[in-house]
Every structure is written in structure tokens, then in C-alpha cells.
Amino acid sequence: MRSAQKQKLSDSLSHQLATCGFRFTPQRQHVYSVLLGKLDHPTAEEVFIRAKRELPDISMATVYNCLDALVKCGLARQVSLARGATRFCPNMKNHCHFYCDTCESVFDVNLPAEPGIALPEGFKAAHYDIAIHGRCPACANGGK
Amino acid sequence: MRSAQKQKLSDSLSHQLATCGFRFTPQRQHVYSVLLGKLDHPTAEEVFIRAKRELPDISMATVYNCLDALVKCGLARQVSLARGATRFCPNMKNHCHFYCDTCESVFDVNLPAEPGIALPEGFKAAHYDIAIHGRCPACANGGK
DNA sequence: GATTTGGTTTAGAATTATTCCAAATATTGA
DNA sequence: TCAATATTTGGAATAATTCTAAACCAAATC
């Protein structure tokens, strides 16, 4: 990534954090860059392992804190697809997730528009989470 | 519930289990009736507590086993909405879930039709899981 | 510039959620 | 009825997440 681009990213991160009353810290910056570095829906544990390469002293608690801050300020989504660890996704475009029940991989699937589901009186929707379960191409073939 | 109705339920349970190669057991029957008894999306722990009232010796491992069997044979859905325990839902009609981020309650929301999302070549969808996050009527008013 | 204030990080303990295991038991099919 | 196999049980083990207190750090105040 070019340095100017990196600068831009950290400006927007800093701004988004500030908007929600969070401080900008090296840990948060790095956790965000780890998320952006590989869009494979890592768990907190996986983010922790990746973050450690550059910040060897970062702790698990901090990774959770950073991820939560990113989610709260709208720079990442938390993805709960099955029992087991929650995953994180920095793709904030309108999309949903395909979860392969066989290999447990997650794929982003573009959504043309928000679903538009009629809610009963009084419910206030903040966001939609659509998950499609099934088999990915590799598992649909291989696994018979 | 009338006895004839109960009989019918356990017939269909027995049949569904058999179809997937599972055996019909008193524990599975009771766990299923616990789920049907209160449609509030309980966690495995909550099911365990409720099931114990009638089957005091049932174990947590059995509750998980029963719930998994019900899910696999199509009599219940597993619902992952946030970090923390998975919940279970015996409503198999076409519906989605509204999750109140404030009080953590779950509500069923009717869906007129399946969403119909275009998947990339090779992906095989088994089922859709739509969750709407936001605030329920009580929390939308009270909080704030 | 020194001080206060409060958010953040850290390591590790604690808790929660789920899975695994081996022995005992129950169910199904022959 | 008997054998074969699935299921249940209690408890141990593991995985995922949260909590806690002390140290640290940045921004606001004096």
C-alpha cells in the first residue's frame, strides 16, 4: 500500500473512532490494518496471532477491545455464523455471508439492495445480518 | 395439550428422527417438548434447566445431543445472533429473527418469501438465516 | 510545564459455552 | 431373546470471552 493511501486510512480510522468517543491508538490502528490485510473473516484469536507479528506485546484483551471499538464505530462487522468463535469483517459494503457448513469458510456475497422486511410496530432496525448456509463450490464437488 | 395432539407430535418427531438415522428417546422427546413449550429462543443451558424439571437426571451433554439431533432432522433451528450462547428455535416456518441489542431478546418476524439472493457459480444454498439487529419496542422507548 | 482525569493496555485469573470421554444403559433389528 | 449399535451420563477438558487491577498514556486543566 502506498504511504499516502495508508495515511488516508488512518485519518479515517482516527476520525471514526473520535466520533464515537474512542481514542486513536497504535493497537487499534494495527488491528484494523490486520483486518484489512486479509479479508478472510478471522476470529479474534486469528487477529491476535496476526497482530502479534508486528506488535508482539499486544494482548488478547486488547484485541477484543480494538475489535469491539471498530465494530462500534462502524468500521467492521461482527459475524456470528455457528457455534464457536465470532468472526470479524471490515467490508462495510452492503453484502451478506455464505457459510460453508462443510469447510466452515465464509464468503462475502454482494447484495443489490437492503432486504426491506416489514417489522411490527415499534421495532427499530439498526442493521441486517444475512447468512446463507450451504456448501461452497469446492465442498459441493469434493464431498459428493 | 390434548393427549391425541401430543401423540401426533411424538409420532412426527419419531418419524423425523428415524428419517435421519436417529433413535427416538425420552430425552429427545422431552427436549423437543421443552422447546415447543416456550418459544423464547432459549440457550442450551436454559433448555437444560427446563428439561430437568421433568427429567432430573438429564445431562448437559444429552441436551446438546438432543438439540443437535433436532436441528439435523429439521425440527429446530440453531440461532447465532451475537457472542455468547447459541439459541434454539422450533419454529420452522419461513421467518427471521429480530435481536434487540439492548435487552438481548429475540423475536420471530414473519417473512413473506425466501429472499432469493443470487449466488456465484457453484455455491449450493441449504438455508437462509436473516437476523435484524436493533431495538425492540420496550427498549426503543425506555432507553434514550 | 506540572497535574489531574479518564480512557487504554496488559497479564492473568475467572467465567461461560461447548465438546470430549469412557462406562453404563437403552433401542433396534435379526 | 440376543447382538449390534446408538445414546446417556457425569465429569474432565477445551475453547471463547470477559473481568480485574495495576501500569500507562494522552488530552484537558491548573
DSSP three-state, residue A106: strand
Asked if strand D comes closer than 7 Å to B14 Cβ, the answer is no
Gap from A30 CA to C14 C1', Å:
28
**What is the block-wise mean pLDDT of chain B (144 residues), using blocks of 10 residues?**
67 91 96 97 98 97 98 96 97 95 93 84 94 94 61
Judge: A107–B96 Cβ closer than 8 Å, yes or no: no
Give the pLDDT mean for A119-140: 94
pLDDT for res B83: 96
**Residue of chain A whose alpha carbon sits nearest to that of B68:** A83
pLDDT of residue B113: 78
Q: Is B13 helix (H, G, I), strand (E, B) or coil?
A: helix
Q: pLDDT-derived band of residue A44, with 50, 70 and 90 as boundaries?
A: very high
Spell out the domains of chain A, with CATH numbers in brackets. Answer: 3-87 (1.10.10.10), 93-142 (3.30.1490.190)
| pLDDT at B6 (0 to 100) | 67
- Chain A hits for B144, CB-CB cut-off 8 Å, are none
pLDDT (0 to 100) of residue B144: 42
Q: Say if residues B53 and B37 touch (Cβ distance below 8 Å).
A: no
Query: To the nearest whole percent, how much of chain A has pLDDT over 70?
Result: 92
Give residue A8's pLDDT: 66
The residues, ordered by sequence, that sit 6+ positions from B111 with a Cβ below 8 Å of its Cβ are A117, B94, B95, B96, B130
* Cα separation, B136 vs A128, whole angstroms: 14
